[in-house]
Amino acid sequence: MTAGDMSKVATTNGTTPATDAKGAKAAGAIANWADERLGLGTAMKKNLRKVFPDHWSFMLGEIALWSFVVLLLTGVFLTLWFDPSMSEVQYNGAYDPLRGKHVSSAFASTMDISFDVRGGLLMRQMHHWAAMIFIASMMIHMMRVYFTGAFRKPRELNWVIGCLLLLLGTIEGFTGYSLPDDLLSGTGVRAADGFMKASPVVGSYMSFFLFGGEFPGESIIPRFYVMHILLIPGILLALVAAHMLLLVYHKHTQWAGPGRTEENVVGYPMLPVYAAKAGGFFFIVFGVITLMGGLFSLNPVWKFGPYDPSKVTAGSQPDWYMGWPDGLLRIIPAWETHIFGITLSWNVMLPILVMPPLMLMILMALPFIEAWITGDKREHHLLQRPRNAPTRTAIMVALMTFYGLSWAAGGNDIIAIKMHLSINEITYFMRGAVFIGPVIAFIIARRWCISLQRHDEGKLLHGIESGVLVRSPEGAYAEKHVPLPVSEAYTLSARDDDPTPETVEEIEASGLAGRKVRLRKLRAKLQALFFADNIQKPTAEELHDAQHHAEHELHELESQIAAGPNRHGPTEH
């Protein structure tokens, strides 16, 4: 399909080239030169008018992408002044309260960037804000992808890449905010040393190797620096590129609607509309981060002072994305096993060394677990509304609840102070809540989805409430229902039916034996649970009958209005 009728499109976008003939000739010559060497014509022919569907939620990943670009730009600026060294220097910069103090070069150069380089503090704060936005938008984008079923075949691998991006982004954030070597971040590094030492068998060796000897040593900042500016960004960049390439190859998912099917993709062409919107959006993200960097203070290292292993500030907290394991670390009971002269620190291993990797593995496995349970091997390009996959939605809501409660536990001291509660009671409450909360959230979310499905079914079968009340001659009141517009009815009903799980008899009749049968039975059972109580879309007959019935009712009502002693209905009759 071509762009269609352009006759009425604004003349600025017309067919007459904006450049004059001479310019066009020169441009043509350059294009020819390049194409003869690069063969761009073939590659660009397909992609210049590539279609991208439009929906606000597709913008979330874009925020992540653009904030990553801002991170690269501001990060390069910071490297021009930052000195990743832990050698001791005397601070002689502009900030009076710390002048004359012995600090590390890393801390001194961070102070110089903040107070002696024009725009330095702006760039530092932009870099930090962009990092927070990067990780936040990745997480929200991931939830969007999950809730709408966009992770299904053929996009499972892109989901896995996305999970790795989230992991790397988090590590990148941690290594980044540790670089200034200030008291707050140093406390975080000290805790990281404790985490490593708690690793079974090799813990103290890992710590000595990472820190180049005993904590804190003088190697950790240079080593974090090389990870932060070279190793991890390199991998991030490669994975972002792979993420984008797969997106282009698979073409973007879209919402169901009139004319939008599994076989096509409907939207605006890359050139000009999508390129303009995405390009413009880059400037908006960049602009908002710049405003935040200029107006909202973040990580004021001059207030914390340089790192000193004998000092700590109350209310020490990591950046928000590290908060949830820190919360688990706070609420776990004091479990440590001392046996055969060795120490097993469950109180550190479970929340830090087990839970985050486990959570990541659960996330990465979600598409594969769901596909195995549903047995669905088809490609999916139409998104599902969260309500139409109640169990899936409820699984993510449960995970989010666990995350949220753990995260809140990471601020138990702040909650205690601000809300005048006992920190002990908050901790005891959280110990139970992280287990019970997700279960409650799962049940509520699932039932909520199913009642929303019922509501959709009602709209399809009985139409929508018109707001017109009618009184019959007998004095009874009724509300007129009007059928949904066709496009809306189509959109609501353009969804998949859930499969019917195999029965035990069917499985046993298949002639398989042993493990295979047990697996099939397990799958049938999980499938039944997965789809239990879901509302299926009405069949064509059901719809027809319901419409017939509704028409009849409407007719009845209208004749009552016409015959009735007083009329409160619409005046078109």
Cα separation, 407 vs 415, whole angstroms: 12
Q: Is 528 in the site for other proteins (CB under 8 A)?
A: no
Q: Give the N- to C-terminal CA distance of the chain in Å, as an integer.
A: 45
Smallest separation (angstroms) from other proteins to the CB of 271: 10
Tokens, residue 163: 């999970």
Task: State which of residues 312, 443, 509, 532 lies at the interface with other proteins (CB under 8 A).
Answer: 312
- What are the structure tokens assigned to 75, written together? 């990060």
Cis previous bond, 216, omega within 30: yes
- Tell me how far, at minimum, the Cβ of 417 lies from other proteins, in Å: 11
Least distance (Å) between residue 3 CB and other proteins? 5
Looking at 21-29, 37-45, 199-207, 386-394, which segment touches other proteins (CB under 8 A)? 199-207
Q: Is 47 in the site for other proteins (CB under 8 A)?
A: no
Where in 75-134 is the site for other proteins (CB under 8 A)?
Answer: 86-88, 94-96, 115-119, 121-122, 125-126
Amino acid making up residue 164: L
Among 33, 335, 368, 435, contact with other proteins (rule: CB under 8 A): 335
Is residue 259 within the footprint of other proteins (CB under 8 A)? yes
Among 269, 404, 458, 564, binds other proteins (CB under 8 A): 269
Q: Which is nearer to other proteins, 269 or 437 (CB)?
A: 269
The smaller minimum CB distance to other proteins, of residues 191 and 452, is found at 191
Would you count residue 170 as binding other proteins (CB under 8 A)? no
- Restricting to residues 424-483, which ones interact with other proteins according to CB under 8 A? 424, 427
Spell out the residues 6+ positions from residue 328 whose beta carbon is closer than 8 angstroms to its own. Answer: 350, 351, 352, 355, 406, 409, 434
Enter the tokens of residue 154.
């053929």
Tokens 């000009």 belong to which residue? 272
Question: What is the distance, to the nearest Å, from the Cα of residue 485 to the centroid of all Cα atoms in its chain?
Answer: 33
Helices 120-147 & 390-409 angle (0-180, nearest 10): 150
- Identity of the residue, 198 or 399, whose beta carbon is nearer to other proteins in the bound complex: 198
Strands 342-344 and 51-52: unpaired
Q: Looking only at residues 340 through 359 of this chain, which bind other proteins when binding is defined by CB under 8 A?
A: 341-348
Q: Give the nearest distance from C-beta 509 to other proteins in angstroms.
A: 15
Query: What is the total count of residues that contact other proteins (CB under 8 A)?
Result: 159
**Interface segment toward other proteins; rule CB under 8 A; list 23-31, 358-366, 377-385, 438-446:** 377-385
Q: Pick out residues in 483-512 that bind other proteins (CB under 8 A).
A: 486-487, 489-490, 493-500, 502
User: Is 320 a binder of other proteins (CB under 8 A)?
Assistant: no
Residues 452 and 447: their CA atoms lie apart, in Å, by: 9
Residue 414: CB atoms within 10 Å = 14
Give φ, ψ of 242 to 5 degrees. Answer: -65, -40
- Residue of 17, 333, 357, 473 that binds other proteins (CB under 8 A): 333
Among 15, 22, 42, 263, binds other proteins (CB under 8 A): 263
- Contact yes or no for 91/112 (Cβ under 8 A): no
Cβ neighbourhood burial of 156 (10 Å; 0-12, 13-18, 19+): middle
Helix boundaries (H) for 485-566: 486-493, 504-509, 515-531, 540-563
Please check whether residue 371 is in contact with residue 153, taking contact to mean a CB–CB distance below 8 angstroms. yes
Which of 44, 51, 517, 526 touches other proteins by CB under 8 A? 51
